[in-house]
Structure 1
Amino acid sequence: MIDGMVIGQLAASTGLSVRTLRFYADAGVLPETGRTQAGYRIFGPEAVARARLVRTLRELGVGLDDIKRVLAAETSLIDVATEHVRALDAQIRTLRLQRAVLRAFIGSTDPEELERMTDLTNLTADERRRIVDDYLDAVFGDEPSAVADKLRMGTPELPDDATPEQVAAWVEIVELMRDPGFVASSRAMAQRALAEGPEPDVARFEMGTAVGELAGPAARAGVDPSSAEALAVVERLEAMSAQAPGERLRAAERIEAFTDRRVGRYWTLVGIVNGWAPAQAPDGVIDSWEWYARALRAHA
């Protein structure tokens, strides 16, 4: 008389195939209690619950080595489950990011763009942060700066579950931060801000409104910055700001330092990556200031 179950009986009791039960037994997670005279495996009464537990853990993706540790009481089922949850979370984050990269790439015909997206999004959070820090160091150097501190607080942080739009924005931000021209423009702007103070005063806001009201229409109408009509706009703005005609070139240089469209684009992209409320790019405002700067230079 057989003291236990043969593998066919165990299969009928657990709903698992004979082939699967043989695999579990050979892997050491389903020990047999003996063999029949004909060589068939014999399993004890606890094999039913054990086989079902192994099946459940395997369906959840737990490896055989971890299952062995649980069954040997080397670790608890809760500890293994906790560890596996962490591993699944990391895998899910990776899969979501890969999906976002592929969706962001759809429509492109440039294989190098896909490679660039993959490389930049596969970086760790610390590696991505290093790119931003390198840019800020190149712009501000080692000197303490309230402007730099504010920029660091608003740096782009690519989320683990990034959307295709956030992936594309992150890649474009990195390209900007690695562009020597953009770095030089940012440095010039930072130096101006450090010299003049990070907080604009009321007069600057009033001047900005005046430029929009006077230079804006001239820019949209295509008025030649070197014309007499443009000079009249310059003189009216000078009268409002108490700026002397001899300071036109210096004023033009200051405006040019703060009206780089790439800076506006950078902050638009940062908003996308960080999930901030969407804001329209101030192209119309920049058009007005750029036209005013050209007019100042033309009549300097």
Structure 2
Amino acid sequence: MSPDSTWSIGELAERAGVTVKTVRFYSDRGLLPEEARSGGGHRRYGPEALDRLHLIRSLRTLDLPVPEVERVLDQDDTLEDVVAGQLRRIGSRLTALRWQEAALRLVQDCAPEERAARLRLIGAVPVPPSTAPLARFWRRWLPPRLPARLASVIVEHSVPQLPEVPTPAQVLAFTRLHAFVTAPCPGTGNGQPAAHGPGGGRPDVLYDGLVEAYALASSQLRAERAPRAGEALDCFVSAYARSRGTRDTPAFRRGLSGQLAADPRIDHYWSLTAEVTASPDPTPGATHDWLRAALDDQLAGTAD
């Protein structure tokens, strides 16, 4: 290409519809190929630089950071990978904005005397919100000898999925849930049931059985059936009996009923979880209560 068919930095900027400063910025970063140098040492550009400048502008219009643009142009990363990363970042920002909008409405719509308390709850939760504190709560609450695989299953079922577009009520429920799991445990101990103690038997056998029992009870709850004896209850009691190396007998069921009645409760957690998810699927807490009620109902019938 002859010097007459190349463009100065000003001519390239005019053809691309950008400022000279913009062309110089990308040229200094090595993103625009020079075709030649003038006799005075000034940069001269050809069509390849114009095409490259158009591509850069398109990528920057998508709000890709300059280092990401450089990696695409240098082919260190594929365009698909960079776009996927940008979509993840935008998704995170959208989640934060939706949370903030619902939180603002929560403050706007409440009575003046409630605003200070709600602001404290909102301010304690990171944006976008994270369920990591809830997962930590469950990992502390579960027996330490529980296999990692089983613990992960229980945590997955116990930690709610946050809604993509939360309502003010869901924001309030989650901030209260966050406050609940991050507050010091009241009284002595960790609020754990007797099954977590030294005499609780094998927690891996217990929780493996409880996962199955809860799944069976969930179908009963979704069908809006009253607590009753049956496969779900038998699986529930069997999990406790097998974990202690004993048989499921009427005497064992009576003892288990008394133990479960005396165990610490975290009903507040499950109530708030149901509000956060607004899902028709029952929480593990609801299924546990259904099974306890089924056990007590069976024992009452036996006594009669």
TM-score in terms of structure 1 length = 0.54
Partner in structure 1 of residue 273 of structure 2? 270
Q: What code does the residue aligned with 1:130 have?
A: R
Q: 1:168 aligns with which of 165, 172, 185?
A: 172
How far does the alpha carbon of each residue in 1:244-289 deviate from its partner, in whole angstroms, 9 at most, with x for none?
Answer: xxxxxxxxx99x969x8x83x543321121221499xxxxxxxxxx
Pairing 1:131–2:137 present:
yes
The alpha-carbon distance between structure 1 residues 173 and 14, as it changes in their structure 2 partners (threshold 3 A), is: same
Q: Displacement, 1:55? A: 0.5
Partner in structure 1 of residue 20 of structure 2? 18
Q: Displacement, 1:154? A: 5.3
Pairing 1:115–2:123 present:
yes
Partner in structure 2 of residue 2 of structure 1? 4
SS in 1 for 2:44: strand
SS in 1 for 2:126: helix
SS in 2 for 1:117: coil
The alpha-carbon distance between structure 1 residues 154 and 64, as it changes in their structure 2 partners (threshold 3 A), is: closer
Identity of aligned residues (%): 26
Partner in structure 2 of residue 31 of structure 1? 33
Further displaced range: 151-160 or 125-134: 151-160
The alpha-carbon distance between structure 1 residues 201 and 69, as it changes in their structure 2 partners (threshold 3 A), is: closer
Further displaced range: 103-112 or 52-61: 103-112
The alpha-carbon distance between structure 1 residues 181 and 20, as it changes in their structure 2 partners (threshold 3 A), is: same
The alpha-carbon distance between structure 1 residues 272 and 189, as it changes in their structure 2 partners (threshold 3 A), is: farther
Partner in structure 2 of residue 49 of structure 1? 51
Q: What code does the residue aligned with 2:25 have?
A: F
SS in 2 for 1:61: coil
Partner in structure 2 of residue 238 of structure 1? none
The answer to whether the 8 A contact 2:163-2:276 is kept is: no
Q: Write the distance in 2 (CA, Å) between the matches of 1:162 and 1:182.
A: 37
Q: Write the distance in 1 (CA, Å) between the matches of 2:81 and 2:126.
A: 33
Partner in structure 2 of residue 155 of structure 1? 158
The alpha-carbon distance between structure 1 residues 92 and 183, as it changes in their structure 2 partners (threshold 3 A), is: farther
The answer to whether the 8 A contact 1:97-1:160 is kept is: no
Unaligned runs of at least 5 residues, structure 1: 203-252, 280-300
Higher share in helix? 1
Larger Rg: 1
Unaligned runs of at least 5 residues, structure 2: 201-209, 218-226, 230-257, 283-304
Q: Write the distance in 1 (CA, Å) between the matches of 2:87 and 2:54.
A: 20
Q: Write the distance in 1 (CA, Å) between the matches of 2:135 and 2:69.
A: 38
Q: Displacement, 1:10? A: 1.8
Q: What code does the residue aligned with 1:15 have?
A: G
The alpha-carbon distance between structure 1 residues 185 and 49, as it changes in their structure 2 partners (threshold 3 A), is: closer
Partner in structure 1 of residue 83 of structure 2? 81
Q: What code does the residue aligned with 2:34 have?
A: E
Q: What code does the residue aligned with 1:112 have?
A: R
SS in 2 for 1:118: coil
How far does the alpha carbon of each residue in 1:48-77 deviate from its partner, in whole angstroms, 9 at most, with x for none?
Answer: 211000001111122222322322333332
Q: Displacement, 1:129? A: 1.1
Q: Write the distance in 2 (CA, Å) between the matches of 1:126 and 1:179.
A: 17
The answer to whether the 8 A contact 1:57-1:67 is kept is: yes
CA RMSD of aligned residues (A): 4.5
The answer to whether the 8 A contact 1:117-1:168 is kept is: no
The alpha-carbon distance between structure 1 residues 269 and 190, as it changes in their structure 2 partners (threshold 3 A), is: farther
Q: Write the distance in 1 (CA, Å) between the matches of 2:125 and 2:39.
A: 63
Partner in structure 1 of residue 68 of structure 2? 66
